[in-house]
């Protein structure tokens, strides 16, 4: 669809966490097999809630209205970074990520509520359980089996301690555009979460 936008909904990261992501990536780049990895631009790292796929721009007002309704039902939450992992498994990794800790129940509730509300708009709900994570790199498809296994072993042995916490106060509708140097993410809309009554 030439006139469609590739969209997803996410929690964006504040500047101090993006700077931390850059430092973590720099440390990981020293040990990971260079030719096997495609690193995510630090400024592009985010916490995805729902991937929407190719969507006509004319549907954005309906999407943002639904997002606003969901956001108003959920309060700000405190999140942090915990551990290093890969998808789908250590033997054949394709995505390298940092885990998320903190207010995970409210996070899961907001994600589930959002996914449910998008179904009437024609978006399929993901059947796999939601696994909050921050993607820092992708392992190239053409990476050798030895490099893939090496990444898995390094992750398995990693004892990564990252002291980074932030407050989530809004959800964002994001546009993804593929560029030669990696994907570029642009905020289309930002919808604030409910304000605490304290």
Catalytic residue selected from 16, 75, 133, 165: 133
Q: pLDDT 10s digit of each residue in the chain, 198 long?
A: 458 999 999 999 999 999 999 999 999 999 999 999 999 999 999 999 999 999 999 999 999 999 999 999 999 999 999 999 999 999 999 999 999 999 999 999 999 999 999 999 999 999 999 999 999 999 999 999 999 999 999 999 988 888 899 999 999 999 999 888 778 999 999 999 998 554
Q: Is 165 a catalytic residue?
A: no
pLDDT on residue 132: 98
166 with 132: CB under 8 angstroms? no
Question: Strand (E) positions, the chain?
Answer: 5-12, 37-39, 46-55, 77-87, 95-102, 133-139, 165-168, 170-179, 182-192
φ/ψ region of 106 (left if φ > 0, alpha if ψ in -120 to 50, else beta) reads alpha
Catalytic residue selected from 16, 46, 74, 165: 46
Q: Considering just the CA atoms, what is the radius of gyration of the chain in Å?
A: 17
pLDDT on residue 90: 95
Q: Work out whether strand 170-179 and strand 165-168 pair parallel, antiparallel, or are unpaired.
A: unpaired
pLDDT on residue 198: 47
CB-count burial class (<10 Å; 0-12, 13-18, 19+) for 107: buried
pLDDT on residue 118: 98
50 with 115: CB under 8 angstroms? yes
pLDDT on residue 196: 58
Sign of dihedral through CA atoms 141, 143, 144, 150?
A: negative
Residue ranges per domain, the chain?
A: 5-192
Q: What is the CATH number of domain 5-192?
A: 3.90.1140.10
pLDDT on residue 177: 95
CB atoms within 10 A of CB 59: 15
Three-state SS at 122:
coil
pLDDT on residue 2: 55
φ/ψ region of 20 (left if φ > 0, alpha if ψ in -120 to 50, else beta) reads alpha
Phi, psi of 5 (to 5 degrees): -110, 140
Q: Is 133 a catalytic residue?
A: yes
Please identify which residue in the block is written with the tokens 């509300």.
117
């Amino acid at each position: 669809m030439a006139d469609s936008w590739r969209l997803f909904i996410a929690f964006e990261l504040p500047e101090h966490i993006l700077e931390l992501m850059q430092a973590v990536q720099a440390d990981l780049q020293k040990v990971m097999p260079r030719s096997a990895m495609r690193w995510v631009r630090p400024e592009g790292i985010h916490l995805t809630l729902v991937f929407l796929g190719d969507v006509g721009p004319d549907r954005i007002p309906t999407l943002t209205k639904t997002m606003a309704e969901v956001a108003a039902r959920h309060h700000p939450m405190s999140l942090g970074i915990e551990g290093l992992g890969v998808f789908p498994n250590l033997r054949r990794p394709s995505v390298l990520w940092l885990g998320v800790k903190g207010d995970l129940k409210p996070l899961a509730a907001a994600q589930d509520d959002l996914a449910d509300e998008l179904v009437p708009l024609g978006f399929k709900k993901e059947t796999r359980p939601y696994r909050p994570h921050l993607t820092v790199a992708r392992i190239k498809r053409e990476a050798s089996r030895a490099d893939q296994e090496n990444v898995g072993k390094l992750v398995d042995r990693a004892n990564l301690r990252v002291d980074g916490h932030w407050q989530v106060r809004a959800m964002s509708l994001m546009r993804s555009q593929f560029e030669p140097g990696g994907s570029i993410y642009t905020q289309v809309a930002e919808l604030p979460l409910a304000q605490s009554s304290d």
